[in-house]
Amino acid sequence: MASTQPVRFGTDGRDKSHVRRRLLDQAAELHGQRRQLRNTLPGDAKDVKDEEEFCADRHERTTLCALLEMKTRLAREVDAALRRVESGAYGKCAACGEEISAARLRAVPFAVRCRDCQELAEADGDGLSASA
């Protein structure tokens, strides 16, 4: 399952620095969005006046919680990708050991599997995220 255009860090470290910076920027954005979502969550149900307001509040809370969970999962995946950059494992497929294509890493910088292995994992119901 060889991929084209693998990510290779040059001896000067420029590519590694660029990938690291991109991941750090993405992590900072996700952590900021998470903080904002947490601050947006509505108050307790006891503060509502009637059932309609309670249901609207519950729907908003459910939606915001789902968004918060998604941002938290993405932040963890980005943090894990940063650790892989530092350890030298970034860009290698966790399933087959081949290089992950540069195009895939540009699209999903926190990917841990090459496209083929990710497709197989999703077909098996085991690949709901890029880092699963």
- Structure confidence at residue 60 (pLDDT): 81
Question: What's the rounded Cα separation, in Å, for the pair 123 and 95?
Answer: 14
pLDDT of residue 38: 79
pLDDT tens sequence across 6-16: 455 544 444 77
Tens of pLDDT along 83-132? 999 998 999 999 999 999 989 998 999 999 999 999 999 998 865 555 54
Phi-psi region of 97 (alpha: psi -120 to 50; beta: other; left: phi over 0): left
- Tell me the per-residue pLDDT of 50-68, one tens digit each, with 9 for 90 and over: 666 666 777 888 888 899 9
Q: Hey, what's the torsion of the CAs at 118, 124, 126, 129, to 10 degrees?
A: 40
At 40 the pLDDT is: 76
Looking at residue 4, its pLDDT comes to: 44
pLDDT band at 79 (very low <50, low <70, confident <90, very high): very high
DSSP string for 44-95:
-GGG-SSHHHHHHHHHHHHHHHHHHHHHHHHHHHHHHHHHHHHHT-TTB-TT
Share of the chain above pLDDT 70, in %: 73
Rounded to whole angstroms, how far apart are CA atoms 123 and 126?
A: 7
Question: What would the mean pLDDT of 18-40 be, rounded to a whole number?
Answer: 88
Question: What pLDDT sits at residue 29?
Answer: 93
- Whether 48 has a pLDDT exceeding 70, the answer reads no
